[in-house]
Amino acid sequence: MTTAKKRPPGRWKAGESGNPAGRKPGTGEVAKIRAAIADRVPELLAKLMAQALEGDTSAARLLLERAVAPLKAAEQPQALTLPDGTLTEQGRAVLASVAAGELAPGQGAALLGALGTLARVAEVDELAARITALEERHAKP
């Protein structure tokens, strides 16, 4: 005798709604508040603008925060010539440039990170070449 496993009542399959008709979008309390505000936006903006022009710094700040994107610090690109030596010598050249003020600290950190990644890639390449050489030397004819 086999017994089929039944779902408990009130449980639905994954992705299946218990109320497919459901509540219509935009009928909740938040939607009603947004609709009420949307009707009065021009008046609110005019009042806020008037307050800002009269010297209300909070109103001016609110307007500027919403209307003007915040400025982000940007570092200017800087040309840097690295020595043709080892990765260690190149890393020292980057640190020297940062110390001399020729390169921004953020750019120096990014370059050192890139050199570290390059070192790991070179290490993987070297290990792959060594494994291939060992396999060729010890291959059975």
Query: What are the pLDDT digits (tens) for 84-124?
Result: 989 999 999 999 999 998 888 989 999 999 999 999 999 99
Q: For residue 68, which of 44, 52, 47 has the smallest C-alpha distance?
A: 52
φ, ψ dihedrals at 61, nearest 5°: -65, -45
The ranges assigned to domains in the chain are 29-67, 87-137
Contact 75, 46 (CB under 8 A): no
pTM of this structure: 0.47
φ, ψ dihedrals at 77, nearest 5°: -60, 145
Contact 63, 52 (CB under 8 A): yes
